[in-house]
Amino acid sequence: MSVLQRIRTAPPRYWLVGVVILFFVGLPTVIDSFQASEWAQALILAIAIMGLNILVGYSGQLSLGHGAFMALGAYTSAILAHRYKMDYLLTIPIAGLLTGIVGFLFGVPALRLSALYLALASFALAVVAPSLIKRPVELTGGVHGIFVPPVDPPQFAKDAYAAVTGTAMTSDQWTYYVTLGCALVLFWLAWNLVRHRAGRAMRAIRDGEVAAAASGVNIAGYKTLAFGISALYAGIAGSLFGMAVGYVSPDTFPVALSIQLIVGAVVGGLASIPGPLLGGIFVYFLPIESNQWVPTQTWIPSQIASTVEKAGPAVSYGAVLILIMIFASNGIVGLVTAGYARVRRRLRGPGDRETGQTSPDPQTV
């Protein structure tokens, strides 16, 4: 098929992806610079959640400690940039790779743990991570952390941005575009992963380990691979995090971060590609909005608004998590696909009910 034919026959889903990408590319031109930094952080969480999703959603291993992997990536980049004066962008793939290898090594003992115990052990890791970071003071700066000076946009980016918008690109906006670039690449890689053999193998392991083993799938290999890949994503996310925030310290990686990641994965929709994006946006903006936006909305009764504001994100997170698991365990993506499928069935009419045709598996796109 020629390229033009391919474009014409592409499913509508692809057009949606194109629109979304355009939206994100153009976003910084219409929002404030610091808002670009906020969206960058939401995308960073989305990257980490994508990694977690590969582990939890596709290979069925539950990790509650991915905040620790983010910390590893962030500190690797910060140390390389701060101490060894490496160009920050160069440190990103290095941080990812290092974290990926560590994750892979973690995957080995994890093989022996059942789902529950893996959850327990990884949760404990997330809680302990800050105190472990503090230990090697010369390396990590201990409690004082490491400062990452703002990364200036390179000349070509400044010129391109000025040509389009007429204003100078700020380092926050540059961070956003670097993050967006990484997110596009990583999401595309994940999409390919789940469509092809590795993804199928992981899903087979998730759905029935014994059957998968009987079918000849290399359980240990794929499970540790999943761990490694998810850690790689978290490491890159951590590295970008250091760039966006400008500061890494033990306090910036509390256990709440690991919980944010799993909440995002679940709320967005496990075992889906768009899920992590939605999840990242959700978990990033929820605390900020519940604290600030809600009280300004006059249509919300003031009792509820002030309760939401004072109760804080913890209550919102907890309640949302429980409700989603009970009513929509496939997350937002699940709700949307279910709704879409229902609408399509209605539109198609009785024909489909007779033939019993099912809609294509969303995971194979």
Which is nearer to another protein, 316 or 345 (by Cβ)? 316
Smallest gap from Cβ 251 to another protein, in A, equals 5
Smallest gap from Cβ 268 to another protein, in A, equals 13
Bridge partners for 147 per DSSP? 247
As a whole number of angstroms, the distance between CA 147 and CA 245 comes to 9
Reported as type and span, the H/E element at residue 154 is none
DSSP 56: I
List Cβ neighbours of 291 (8 Å cut-off, separation of 6 or more): 309, 312, 313
Reported as type and span, the H/E element at residue 147 is strand 146-147
DSSP symbols for 282-309: HHHHHHHHHHHTGGG-TTS-HHHHHHHH
Smallest gap from Cβ 19 to another protein, in A, equals 27
Which is nearer to another protein, 171 or 337 (by Cβ)? 171
Which is nearer to another protein, 154 or 318 (by Cβ)? 318
Which is nearer to another protein, 35 or 97 (by Cβ)? 35
Which amino acid type is present at position 52?
Answer: L
Which is nearer to another protein, 167 or 329 (by Cβ)? 329
C-beta separation of 90 from 180 below 8 A = no
Smallest gap from Cβ 191 to another protein, in A, equals 22
List Cβ neighbours of 6 (8 Å cut-off, separation of 6 or more): none
Smallest gap from Cβ 123 to another protein, in A, equals 7
Which is nearer to another protein, 270 or 273 (by Cβ)? 270
User: What burial class does residue 17 get, using C-beta atoms within 10 Å of its C-beta: 0-12 exposed, 13-18 middle, 19+ buried?
Assistant: middle
Smallest gap from Cβ 75 to another protein, in A, equals 14
